[in-house]
Amino acid sequence: MFRNATLPDGGTHDIEVEDGRIAALLPATKSGPGIDLGGALVMPPLVDGHIHLDKTLLGLPWIPNQAKGNAVSDRIAAERKVRAARTVSETETGSNLVRQVVASGTLHMRSHVDIDNQLGLKNLHAILEVRERFKDLVTIEIVAFPQSGIARSPGTAELLDRAIAEGADLVGGLDPVGIDGDLDGHLDTIFGIAARRGAGLDIHLHDGGEGGIAQILVIAARTRALGLKGKVAISHAFALGSVPADVAARTADALAEAGVAIMSHGPGAAPMPPLPLLRAHGVEVFGGSDNIRDAWSPFGNGDMLDRAMTIGYRGNFRHDHELQLAYEMVTSAAARVLGLDDYGLRVGGPADFVAVDAQSIAEAVAARPRRKLVVKAGRVVAREGVLA
Ligand SMILES: [Zn+2]
């Protein structure tokens, strides 16, 4: 029994747990057996819709960023050097990150995993091992991500296909025009694999402006044509934040009709998609950490309440309903994109939740309080921000 919990709707309840599931939501009691939450806000587990478990250098001595410029291609080149010099396996650093994110209340995530002709499937195998290691604690969806491009990295198309056969769940993509310079070639490859293997797609798209919008529209059209509604996401989609609102609105309609979701991490230096507009047009928008302490970014900690705050800060969110949108991006919306059917605080649902000292969801996003408790299947897995 977890007593005296404030649920997101403001009601206070005792949460009765049986066999790892919520057996009942009872009127709150001040005393009795079980754990007293003292009126803490209880939320469903946080969901990270975009993480790079294989890239992180978390737990290693500080490695300065080595990118020579600010272009995506500069960062790709810098990362190839860093990973060639690695002495600790991606399994260990990825595990460091999983432990940290679980302690902050994230119990589900989608990790992109680098695949190119230098790495082969090495990083996939490392993260498959991480997934197995932590399978009782977190669910990890894996995207086979062509970090060095496909046309630019000969052999990658075959590797992506093998990655799906060996356990990756989705096919990734990367700036079909900006990196590969071949929109149809890039999309033929990744949509071809997805259709043949019955996999979803999650495509990194940094390309901005009208050129980026054109790529988004082609991705939406291909998604419709292949009947992949609800199985395709575009990560970043900076283009949506760099065009006039009427263009963004028309593009949003195409995305909503096709069932293509948009991931944003609240970018620091690039235009952010207009999230409230997208949502008003029926587009599923969700959040993710993206890079955490790796060759791309020195920042990040995997805390999805911090991420919701960053998204809100970048979006100039001030009202509670806007903070609610940021919260949903790192909980229910991300859960839908990840296809988590068994998710949410409800009688009969999994006894997975996070407790924080806050009076409302809006306050939790603004204050990002330390996680008092993280509970998985009725078991306390972290307390006061530390794994149990
Ligand atoms: Zn990413």
pLDDT tens sequence across 172-213 = 999 999 999 999 999 999 999 999 999 999 999 999 999 999
Mean pLDDT, residues 37-50: 98
Cα(176) to ligand 1 centroid in Å equals 15
What's residue 292's pLDDT?
A: 97
Whole-number Å distance, alpha carbon 9 to ligand 1 midpoint, is 33
pLDDT score at 251: 98
Predicted pLDDT of residue 185: 97
pLDDT at 80: 87
Q: pTM above 0.75?
A: yes
Average pLDDT, the chain: 97
pLDDT at 90: 97
pLDDT of residue 3: 97
**33 alpha carbon to ligand 1 midpoint, in Å?**
45
The predicted pLDDT at position 83 comes to 85
- The model's confidence at residue 269, banded by pLDDT at 50, 70 and 90, is confident
Cα(130) to ligand 1 centroid in Å equals 19
Mean pLDDT of 292-318: 97
302 CA to centre of ligand 1 in angstroms:
13
Q: How would you write the chain as a 3-class SS string?
A: CEEEEECCCCCEEEEEEECCEEEEEEECCCCCCCEECCCCEEECCEEEEEECCCCCCCCCCCCCCCCCCCCHHHHHHHHHHHHHCCCCCHHHHHHHHHHHHHHCCEEEEEEEEECECCCECHHHHHHHHHHHHCCCCCEEEEEEECCCCCCCCCCHHHHHHHHHHCCCCEEEEECCCCCCCCHHHHHHHHHHHHHHHCCEEEEEECCCHHHHHHHHHHHHHHHHHCCCCCCEEEEECHHHHCCCHHHHHHHHHHHHHHCEEEEECCCCCCCCCCHHHHHHCCCCEEECCECCCCCCCCCCCCCHHHHHHHHHHHCCCCCHHHHHHHHHHCCHHHHHHCCCCCCCCCCCCECCEEEECCCCHHHHHHHCCCEEEEEECCEEEEECCEEC
Distance 284 CA to ligand 1 centre (A): 18
pLDDT at position 84 is: 83
Residue 387 has pLDDT above 90, yes or no: yes
The CA 194 to ligand 1 mean position distance, Å, reads 19
Rounded to the nearest whole angstrom, what is the distance from the C-alpha of residue 73 to the centroid of ligand 1?
14
Ligand 1 centroid to 387 CA: how many Å?
26
- Report how far ligand 1's centroid is from the alpha carbon of 39 (Å): 37
**What is the band of 260 on the pLDDT scale with cuts at 50, 70, 90?**
very high
Average pLDDT, integer, range 347-353: 98
What percent of the chain clears pLDDT 90, i.e. is strictly above it? 94
Q: Residue 105 C-alpha to ligand 1 middle, in angstroms? A: 21
Q: What percent of the chain has pLDDT over 70?
A: 100
User: If you measure from the C-alpha of residue 55 to the centroid of ligand 1, how many angstroms do you get, rounded to a whole number?
Assistant: 10
Q: Can you give the pLDDT at residue 85?
A: 84
- pLDDT tens figures, 64-92: 999 999 888 899 899 988 988 888 999 99
Q: Quick one: average pLDDT of 135-143?
A: 98
- The Å distance, Cα 334 to ligand 1 centre, comes to 15
Would you state the pLDDT for residue 72?
A: 86
- Whole-number pLDDT of residue 208: 96
